[in-house]
Amino acid sequence: MTEILLIRTGQTEQELLNWLIYLPQEQEIIASGELSNASHLTELSEKAQSREVIVLLPSDQVQLKTVALPTKWNRKLEQALPYMLEEDIACDVDDLFIAVGEPTMLGEQHAIRVAMTDREWFEQWLALFAEHDLSVYKILPDALLLPVGDEGEATAIELNNQWLFKQGQWHISAVEPSWLSNYLTALGNPNIKHFSPANHFPESVNLHAQTNEYDLPLALFAKQLDSVKFNLRQGLYQLKKKSSLWWGYWKGAAIIAGVALVSTVAIKSIELHQLNSELEIAKAQVVDRYQKAFPGVKVRPNLIKSQIKGALDRVQGSSEAGFLDLTANLVDVFSQVSEFTLETLRYDKRRNELRIRARAKDFQTFGKVKTILEKQGLTVEQGSLNNDGDYVVGEIKLRGAV
C-alpha cells in the first residue's frame, strides 16, 4: 500500500505546518516534523514523490453543516444548495466554496452534509501546493479525522495549542484553551474522550483519558483516513490520481531501462500525430466559419488569414466589420493553441463584443488563449470555467472599439 504524506496547514501561510509520513498497512510512522511557515514547503517536495499527499485544514476555517431537504438529494437540489444556505451564512454565498458530503436523515427528513470554506483562501493554498510541486489528492478539515465517540460523548485532541473536538459524524470545532468552559457548556457538557493530556479542562467535565492511544495528532488522524470518505477536493477542484504514483511499486528498474527509449519515441510520434490532427481540425473550423460568412467564395486554406484580412478591407464601415475584425483575431489562436475547440459564437453589434463558448483540455489552455488575444490589443474577459469529463468548458468575451 502507498505511503501517505500528511500535511496540516495553518490559518495563514506564516503559521506553523505539521507533516507526517505514514504507512497504513503497517500503521507505522516513517517520519514527522514541522515547518515554521509555508515558504518551507519545498522541503516536502522530494518527500512527496511516490507518496499520496493528503492535506488537513484547520477546523476553524471549515464549517460543517447538515442541511434539511424537501425531498431526496438530487441534481436539482445540488444546483439550489447555495441559495438554501444564504440565510445561514454571514458572507456572500459566492465567496464560499461549498463541498457536498453524504446524504443523511434528520429524523424522518432527508438532508445533505456540506462543508464550507472561503473560496479565495482555499484557492491560495491549492496554488501554493502546486507551486511547490505537491500534487494534493485529498483535503479534509483536521478534526473530522478524530474517532467517533459514543452517544452523548465527544472526542478531543490538542494540536498547536488548540483543542480539536468531534461529536458525532459531522460536528467538529477548534477551541482555544481559555474558551473550553464556555464551549463545553454550550455543547451540553458531554463526556470527553481525550487522546492527549487534558490539563485545561474545567473540573466539572467528565473526562475519559485514552492513555493507551496517546499519539502524535497527525498519527491519530492518519489511522482514521479509511473511515472518512469525504474530500474537499471535488467539483472544480477535483484532482485525478496520477498513475505514476503507483508505477514504482510494480515495475522493476531493469524493465523501465529496457523500454524507455522505445516508449519515448512512440509517445512523441503519437503526440505529433495528435497535434497535426488537431491543427487540421482547427483549420477546417476556420474555413467553415469563413464560408458561412462569405457564401460562394472560394477558400484557399493556406491563404485563409490573408483572405480574412482582405474581406475586412472590403467591408470596413459595414455592419459586418466589427464581427469579422474580432473573429480574424482567432486565427492566431487556432494556429498556436492545441485542443481548443469553439462550440458557439455570439456577437453583440451594439457593444462590439464577441462571446465565445469553447472546450479545452485544461484551465491553462484558456489562460494561454486569453494572453494571445490580449497581445493583439483586444479587451478580453474570461468567464467561469467548469470541468466536463476530460475537458474544461468556459466562456471568453472579446471586445473591440465601440
Residue 159 to residue 98: CA distance in whole angstroms: 26
- DSSP character string of 307-369: HHHHHHHHHTTSTTHHHHHHHHTHHHHHHH-SSEEEEEEEEETTTTEEEEEEEESSHHHHHHH
pLDDT band per the 50, 70, 90 thresholds, residue 296: low
The tens digit of pLDDT for each residue in 13-56 reads 999 999 999 999 999 999 999 999 999 999 999 999 989 999 99
Question: Rounded distance, CA 235 to CA 97, Å?
Answer: 10
| 367 and 307 together in one domain | no
One domain, residues 307 and 325: no
Euclidean distance between CA atoms 399 and 39, whole angstroms: 40
Comparing 146-155, 180-189, 238-247, 346-355, the range with the smallest average pLDDT is: 238-247
**Domain span holding position 38:** 4-237
Q: Which of 237, 261, 283 is the last residue of a domain?
A: 237
* Stretch 147-152: mean pLDDT: 93
Model's pTM, two decimal places?
Answer: 0.62
Residues 218 and 287 in one domain: no
The single-letter code of the amino acid at 297 is: V
Domain match, 86 and 9 both = yes
Query: CA 395, CA 386: separation in Å to the nearest integer?
Result: 10
- DSSP helix/strand/coil, 68: strand
The answer to whether 114 and 101 have CB atoms below 8 angstroms apart is yes
- Domain tally for the chain? 3
Q: Whole-angstrom Cα distance, residue 77 to residue 355?
A: 29
Q: Which of 145, 190, 207, 203 is nearest to 172 (CA)?
A: 145
Read off the pLDDT band of 245 (50, 70, 90). very low
Q: Are residues 156 and 60 in the same domain?
A: yes
User: What tens digit of pLDDT does each residue of 88-111 get?
Assistant: 888 899 999 999 999 999 999 999
Strands ordered across the beta sheet of 340-348: 340-348, 353-360, 391-399, 379-388
pLDDT over threshold 50, residue 259: yes
Does residue 343 carry a pLDDT above 80?
Answer: yes
Count the alpha carbons within 13 Å of 296 in the hemisphere toward its beta carbon. Answer: 0
Residue 103: strand pairing partners: 112
In a shared domain, residues 305 and 324: no
CATH number of the domain enclosing 361 = 3.30.1360.100
Average pLDDT, the chain: 86
User: Which range scores top for mean pLDDT: 124-133, 269-278, 289-298?
Assistant: 124-133
236: phi > 0 → left, psi -120 to 50 → alpha, else beta; which?
alpha
Last residue of a domain, one of 292, 312, 332: 312
